[in-house]
Amino acid sequence: MESEIELKNVCKAFMHDHETVSVLKGISAKVTKGTIVTIVGPSGSGKSTILSLCNLLQTPDEGEIHIHGKEVREWNIQELRRLVGIAFQDAPMLKGTSLDNLSLPARLQGKSLENPKKYMKYVGLTEDLLSRQAKELSGGQKQRLAFARTLVNEPSVLLLDEVTSALDSLASHEVEELVLRINREQHTTILWVTHDLSQAERVGDQTWLVMDGSIIEAAPTKQFFTEPKDVRTKQFLDMKRNYK
């Protein structure tokens, strides 16, 4: 199967209180085209850093990340970010209307957005919201609009960073269904960081456990949750289940 994303011995460190902190310690992994990989692990383990490196919000210190077989630093950065979309927990909105926000990717390319209603309909938003101020939308509506804005670029890879964690259970389920539909209909490859193990189990084709800057276990999702191989995976799953 074709790998759409490949990480090769990727390292990343940051300065914190005048000390160098290694966030990723030589991770390697492959993501097959059209699959959903859910990434779980403790806070601060490096999960979000993996996402930010895949579209050059940050740059690897060592190692390589290949998208479509091409190392990320060899891509034109605008082209890379059209190809690799990212959505965050807080779904940041610009000042202005929903249409202003939805049109941003097209404006950045010097174009006008054709058929904005199509994108609103696809993510389950009504067209009357196009004229509403984005700040007036609910949390679930903002997250859907953020997805629609990302889809304007027709990305082949979607990076999701805790995109449902700030939503109530109904809105979270709706966004989850939307992402699954995007994956199914567009064959979009998705890396999804989530703290919600039940969500990871529902949506993932593959699941990675990231701890202390390393990928501890990477396995088909069903196997990951029912027959984990690494004792640290078993401990992590038991701890999270017992905590609930």
pLDDT tens-place string over residues 177-223: 999 999 999 999 999 999 999 999 999 999 999 999 999 999 999 99
User: For the domain bounded by 3-92+155-242, which CATH number is listed?
Assistant: 3.40.50.300
Sign of the Cα torsion 151, 219, 222, 164 reads negative
Question: How many percent of the chain have pLDDT more than 70?
Answer: 99
Question: Is residue 16 very low, low, confident or very high in pLDDT (cuts 50, 70, 90)?
Answer: confident
Domain ranges (residues) in the chain = 3-92+155-242
CB 49 within 8 A of CB 24: yes
Residues 212-237: pLDDT tens digits?
A: 999 999 999 999 999 999 999 999 99
pLDDT at 112: 87
DSSP labels, 15-45: EETTEEEEEEEEEEEEEETT-EEEEE--TTS
Tokens of 205: 């084709």
